[in-house]
Amino acid sequence: MNPVNNKRIAIVGGGPGGLTLARLLLPGGAAVKVYERDVSRSVRVQGATLDLHDESGLAALRKAGLMAAFEQHYRPGADHMRVVDKHGVIRFDEMAGPTEGVYFRPEIDRGPLRNLLLDSLQEDTVVWNSHFQDMQAEGKGWRLHFKNGTSAYADIVIGADGANSRLRPYLTDIVAFYSGYTAIEGAVYDSAKNVPVLHTLLHGGKIFALGDDKTLVLSSKGDGSLVFYTGFKAPENWVKENGLDLNDKAQMKAWFQEAFAGWDALWLPLFEQSAGSFIARPLYCMPLDQHWQSQPNLTLLGDAAHLMPPYAGEGVNMAMLDALELSACLLDPAFHTAHEAIAAYERQMLTRASATAQMTLEQTDALHREGNLQYMLDMFDPEKQ
């Protein structure tokens, strides 16, 4: 019998990591609940499209029996990527990649990914409007308290609550360090109508614009919108101290013109036509040598465990691979206790995440220093590999 059979498991956070884990634990005989702060599944999920990798995100979906659902919802051709200079001149045009095999890196929007995972769960697995506040030990498990005044008992708690995890401090006091880079994120609805020139350049895929020591990444989405984020070097408190009003398009456009001086006016419609508020994201990373004493009834996955900057496109893939590895350990009858299973998972997760974070930091630095365009072009040049 596996070590979680008949146990109550609380997963806090219904992002890609938490929902994948809930799905993978289904056959294990545990009573699994996902406590999610969003009030319902119809809350609009923000963010760029995600490319899933064969050995991680796709491996988790395969194990979960969800490849057929995935194939209905991923966006063929959205992995088409253009690398352009700061004037918008195309320097590398990557056609959409293969449709199977280890180099198949299909793109799916965050909303459809969340929906397909939700559809694979039982109706009452996710408890919406459950914003985790705190918890205390109760018997051999935990009593969790939520902002809406409710509480719940669980034998085992999994913190899948993302970058600013409230669960993490119950396991470790190690905090993330600032990477040195900040991103400003925005979105444009109906990009064909609102930013037609950029829409054409985007060609239903992704653009990496590189120049000076800065980046501008654009992704098309299946609903006809696009999202973009500028990346640049900045002091950690830049967002708080610069006095920029992220709701004020004119101010944000003026900021871009100054900060990205010398970049073509081609990019300005992004700021003129953006929908809603911009999001400022100082980018953090967990220390590469982090480790903690495993606990018998608590662990972390995804960004809560190993937040890293987004420039290697690994975050969601790591979160889903965590779910795959953690479920494999928790459902393995070779482990006599959940504690043994959690310890085994954490050993492999921390080692893997450290190597991935190191690669990500190196890539983030290279993309934000002089020569970044050539660096990225070299990545695609077989003679430079």
Ligand X SMILES: Cc1cc2nc3c(=O)[nH]c(=O)nc-3n(C[C@H](O)[C@H](O)[C@H](O)COP(=O)(O)OP(=O)(O)OC[C@H]3O[C@@H](n4cnc5c(N)ncnc54)[C@H](O)[C@@H]3O)c2cc1C
Q: Does 48 bind ligand X (CB under 6 A)?
A: yes
133 neighbors 147 (Cβ within 8 angstroms): yes
Structure tokens at 231: 């990346």
Q: Does 158 bind ligand X (CB under 6 A)?
A: no
Applying CB under 6 A, what is the total number of residues that bind ligand X? 36
Q: Does 17 bind ligand X (CB under 6 A)?
A: yes
Q: Does 109 bind ligand X (CB under 6 A)?
A: no
With CB under 6 A as the contact rule, the residue among 35, 208, 255, 256 that binds ligand X is 35
- Show the site string, 287-306: x = touches ligand X by CB under 6 A, - = not: ---------------xxx--
User: What is d(CA 14, CA 210) in angstroms, rounded to the nearest whole number?
Assistant: 34
- In 3D space, the residue among 197, 208, 246, 250 whose CA is nearest the CA of residue 230 turns out to be 208
- 29 φ/ψ angles, rounded to the nearest 5 degrees: 80, 10
* E-state strands within 115-264: 126-127, 132-138, 141-146, 151-154, 156-159, 177-188, 206-211, 214-220, 226-233
Which range, of 14-22, 121-129, 135-143, 347-355, touches ligand X by CB under 6 A?
14-22
Q: Does 23 bind ligand X (CB under 6 A)?
A: no
User: Can you say which residues are annotated as belonging to the binding site for NADPH?
Assistant: 44
Which residues, numbered 303-362, are part of the site for ligand X (CB under 6 A)?
303-304, 310, 313-317, 319
Length of the chain (residues): 385
Q: What is the dihedral of CA 39, 247, 249, 261, to 10 degrees?
A: -110
Q: Taking the CB of residue 238, how many other CB atoms lie within 10 A of it?
A: 14
C-beta closer to ligand X: residue 335 or 368: 368
Q: Does 54 bind ligand X (CB under 6 A)?
A: no
Q: Does 111 bind ligand X (CB under 6 A)?
A: no
Q: Does 15 bind ligand X (CB under 6 A)?
A: yes
Residues that bind ligand X (CB under 6 A): 12-18, 35-38, 47-48, 50, 130-132, 160-163, 166, 183, 185, 229, 281, 302-304, 310, 313-317, 319
